[in-house]
Amino acid sequence: MTATNPKLPPVATLAQQCSINPPKLSAPITNWAKAASSGQNTFPKTIVGKLPADAFKNK
Amino acid sequence: MPLTHQQLNQLRTLCQQNPIGAIGGANLSAYFPGIQANQCACWRWASSGFNTAIGDDPAWMFTAIMLGSALNPGSTWANTPAAQAYANNRYAEYLQYQANNYQAVNAVTWNNWVTSVESIIAASTCQLAGLTPGAGPQTNGERYFVVMHFDRISNGQNNAPNYTHWWLKIDLGNGQFCCLEMFPGSTNLACRINNAYAVADNVECEVTDLTAGHLAVLNAVL
């Protein structure tokens, strides 16, 4: 939190983004996902991000 | 790439069988051994299915607009001159709004300015992942939305543009939808039925389909 200046927001610094708690499982759904099959899944690979040429154009 | 008809029907069945607000969780570590919680930021899941580099966190754009700080070196944001220029220009405007006690600047109200900035950065983050903007039902009647929530005000103070959560919303038609989301420090993929983390101050980016990363995860669990 950027506490030294009250005009600065408490949520927008990098370290504070998404600083929220997961929802409570008050009504949990059981078996909504299929059983894991070990070794069968490949985690998504990171891609090289690219913004289109018109990104931010006239903005 | 869209979800299959079978996967969509599985989600539709979940909606029909569970009460509003029900939440399911699937720990991705069971499906992807070695996955680390710090790979699973909400924005990264929702906007790209973990395809986008961790360093391309849109928080860098928001922080630059708030503080005039540098963008993450080596990130796509920093390597895109238009993004740097956009952040610089909005930072200058943000200073004007602060100096004017949040009165309109150049005939643009503070709220409209914030909404514009939020929308543009959310859309750019989706474009970064290769998602295609689009509207309307897809082949099997579903619609895909990347949703970014922000906090407009905290403790009575106007916030600079920011985000506090992201999720992937799959509209299944007939008023039914699921929100699939990740949370800090966790590898748990949450599935929220017919309910959302927030209903106001959301930017909804409708896209035509999902990324390969989304499908890699959803094909594993659905």
- The whole-number pLDDT of residue B19 equals 77
Q: How far is CA A51 from the centre of its chain?
A: 19
Q: Which of A6, A9, A41 sits opposite B160 (nearest CB)?
A: A9
Q: Which of B21, B63, B162 sits opposite A27 (nearest CB)?
A: B21
pLDDT in tens, B36-49: 999 999 999 999 99
- The whole-number pLDDT of residue A9 equals 47
* pLDDT cut 90: percent of chain B above it: 89
CB contact under 8 A, B53 and A23: no
**The pairing of beta strand B188-193 with beta strand B143-149:** unpaired
CB contact under 8 A, B22 and A47: no
Comparing A3-12, B171-180, B208-217, the range with the smallest average pLDDT is: A3-12
Helix, coil or strand: residue A42: coil
B54 phi and psi angles, rounded to 5 deg: -55, -35
Mean pLDDT of chain B: 94
CB contact under 8 A, A33 and B24: yes
Comparing A22-26, B4-8, B217-221, the range with the smallest average pLDDT is: A22-26
Question: Between residues B21 and B145, which one has the greater pLDDT?
Answer: B145
Please give, rounded to a whole number of angstroms, the shortest distance from the CA of B134 to a CA of chain A. 16
pLDDT in tens, B161-198: 999 999 999 999 999 999 999 998 899 999 999 989 99
* Token pair listed for A46: 């990171």
Task: Give this prediction's pTM.
Answer: 0.92
- Calpha distance B75→B12 (Å, rounded): 38
CB-CB neighbors (< 8 A) of A44 in chain B: 49-51, 211-213, 216-217
pLDDT in tens, A12-57: 455 455 556 666 655 667 778 988 876 678 899 998 888 987 888 7
- The whole-number pLDDT of residue A36 equals 86
CB contact under 8 A, A17 and B164: yes
Does the CB of A49 have a partner CB in chain B at under 8 Å? yes
Check: CB of residue A20 under 8 Å from CB of residue B41: no
pLDDT over 90 at B89, yes or no: yes
Number of domains present in the structure of chain B: 1
CB contact under 8 A, B162 and A17: yes
Range of the domain at B77: 5-221
Nearest Cα residue in chain B from A36: B31
* pLDDT cut 70: percent of chain B above it: 100
- The whole-number pLDDT of residue B21 equals 78
Beta strand extents in B15-135 (DSSP E only):
23-27
- The whole-number pLDDT of residue B104 equals 98
Q: Which of A2, A11, A55 sits opposite B164 (nearest CB)?
A: A11
- The whole-number pLDDT of residue A7 equals 45
Helix H or strand E encompassing B145: strand B143-149
Banded pLDDT at B127 (limits 50, 70, 90) = very high
ipTM attached to this prediction: 0.76
